[in-house]
Amino acid sequence: MAKVKTASRVLMAVLYIALGINHLVNPGAYEGVMPPYLPAPVFLIYLSGVCEIVLGALLFPQRTRRFAAWAIIAMLAAFMPVHIHMLVNWAEYPGIPYWLIVARIPLQGVFMLWAWWYTRPG
């Protein structure tokens, strides 16, 4: 089980780093999903990208792993209003399939549980 947990953690780290890099090199892809009530959407896109990169990298060292996992859970919780906004206002996002907008909310829970696994010892 330890090997599975390690491989899963490495996968999670690489995914967050890759997603964070994508936020930085392709911010326009995220601009259209930012709720209008959030200030400075491009800045927030860059900030979330940097956070994803840093937290993904912090999953590698054992010393920072638990902190990174809890911070990822907090980050995903902070993203939840965006997903809820998209669900409530789904007609404003004709380029995104409705099933994907709906699926994003439970997927956030899955990703939170995945990160929570690394808050546990062993």
For the stretch 11-40, pLDDT in tens is 999 999 999 999 999 999 999 899 999 999
Contact 68, 55 (CB under 8 A): yes
Q: What is the pLDDT of residue 80?
A: 94
Has this prediction a pTM greater than 0.85? yes
Q: What is the pLDDT of residue 121?
A: 79
Q: What is the mean pLDDT of residues 80-96?
A: 93
pLDDT > 70? residue 4: yes
pLDDT > 90? residue 122: no
